[in-house]
């Protein structure tokens, strides 16, 4: 199921961001790693098929580049995940 793989990728990106918010782990997660996780989501063709998913992912990527707090980036990724799930319910 294509939508499931997109949702899993977005959840992985959220997990990376949440690790920064929680301060979990011994390794420091860089903005580059967060951006890479978000770009992986943007590369999936199914993210283009549901309105607002790419918009929210782009906003999360921009927020990461702008140095916005990780919790803001996570909220934007949650919005992308919600839009993806809502779009699949409507189809």
Domains of the chain by residue range: 2-90
Q: pLDDT grade, residue 1 (50/70/90)?
A: very low
Could you report the per-residue pLDDT of 24-70, keeping only the tens digit for each? 554 688 899 999 999 999 999 988 888 899 999 999 999 999 999 99
In whole angstroms, give the CA distance from residue 86 to residue 51.
Answer: 10
CA 84 to chain CA centroid, Å, is: 11
Q: Which CATH fold topology does 2-90 show?
A: 1.20.120
């Amino acid at each position: 199921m294509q939508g499931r793989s997109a949702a899993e990728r977005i959840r992985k990106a959220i997990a990376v961001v949440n690790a920064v918010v929680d301060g979990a782990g011994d390794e420091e997660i860089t903005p580059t790693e967060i951006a890479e996780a978000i770009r992986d989501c943007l590369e999936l063709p199914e993210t283009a098929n549901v309105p607002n998913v790419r918009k929210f992912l782009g906003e999360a990527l921009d927020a990461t580049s702008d140095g916005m707090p990780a919790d803001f980036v996570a909220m934007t990724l949650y919005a992308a995940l919600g839009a993806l799930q809502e779009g699949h319910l409507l189809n």
